[in-house]
Every structure is written in structure tokens, then in C-alpha cells.
Amino acid sequence: MPTPETRLAELGVQLPDPNPAVANYVGAVTVGEIVFVSGHGPYENGDYSYKGKLGRDLDVPTGQKSARLTIVNLLASLKAEVGELDRVKRVVKLLVLVNSDPEFKEQHLVANGASDLLVEIFGADRGRHARSAIGMGALPFGISVEIEGIFAL
């Protein structure tokens, strides 16, 4: 089984620097064997991409790209916290928050962009996770997706 870092390289995904802490919070906190990772968004090249609401401004495939990019940012913070991603024994849970028009009903499909990438990186046994996918009234900076995660070491 290749390491998560090897799989990222194979997928052509480069982890960015973790998002800078711009207030009194941090990217991740570890308690015993559990790592709680902050809500992240689809950040790249110094700004958020994929702004807008699903069902109004963005379609599902675009939302999936947003979710995938959000996981890349989340993994950057996770790696900064744990060192090697191979220390992660299990992706435990995702909370996938989708900025939604009130009538949008496919948050679960958007969330698959996140879940699929995690399984590509960690494999099915380690990578499949508990999950909630829900529709938000609004999100910071008008981003389309925010995701927080729990990981076991």
C-alpha cells in the first residue's frame, strides 16, 4: 500500500502550505488518538475559488471540484499537525457543509467529491468514513463548500 503522500503525488495533487491562522484558532487539535481538524474551504493561489451557492450559482460537478479542493486544504492542515499522513489509521468523519439555494437537494453528491478523494489517497479500508452532508444558508467569504474532519492516529 503506497503512503498517502505517494498517492497524492501519483494523483498530481500538491498540498499547499496550511492556511494561515488569521485569528485565535488553529488548523487542527489532537486529543489522544483523535485529531479534530477545523473547517476548511476551497482555497488556492491566495484566495477562495468556487464561490457561490449550489442550485443557484454552481452545478454539482463544480461543487464536487470545490469539495475536492477543500479536502486538499484540510489535508495540508492535517499534515502540519501529524507530520506524515501515514500516521492516520482511519478517516473517521467528515462534516460537509454545502452553501445551498433553499431548494437544492444534492448535497450528498457534492460531498462525494470529498469522500472520493480521501479514498483515492488512503484506500477504502482507511479512507471510508462516517459523514454528514448538509445545506447551509450561507458560508464565510461566500464559499461553496466548507468541510471539517475527524481522523484517528
d(CA 102, CA 120): 32
Nearer to a second copy, 14 or 22 (CB): 22
Residue whose C-alpha is closest to residue 33's, from 94, 93, 87, 85: 87
Instruction: Mark the segment that binds a second copy (CB under 8 A) among 2-10, 11-19, 35-43, 62-70.
Output: 35-43
Which residue reads 503525488 in cell numbers? 9
Q: Residue 150: count other Cβ atoms within 10 Å of its Cβ.
A: 16
- The DSSP call for residue 13 is -
Residue whose C-alpha is closest to residue 16's, from 73, 85, 67: 73
42 touching a second copy, by CB under 8 A: no
Task: Tell me, letter by letter, the H, E, C secondary structure of 52-72.
Answer: CCECCCECHHHHHHHHHHHHH
Instruction: Mark the segment that binds a second copy (CB under 8 A) among 3-11, 12-20, 59-67, 90-98.
Output: 90-98
63 touching a second copy, by CB under 8 A: no
Restricting to residues 105-144, which ones interact with a second copy according to CB under 8 A? 105-108, 111-112, 115-116, 118-119, 124, 127-142
64 touching a second copy, by CB under 8 A: no
Q: In whole angstroms, how close is the CB of 84 to a second copy at the nearest point?
A: 19
d(CA 109, CA 90): 22
The residue count for binding a second copy (CB under 8 A) is 61
Binding site for a second copy (CB under 8 A): 21, 23-29, 31-34, 36-39, 53, 55, 90, 92-95, 97, 99-108, 111-112, 115-116, 118-119, 124, 127-142, 146, 148, 150, 152
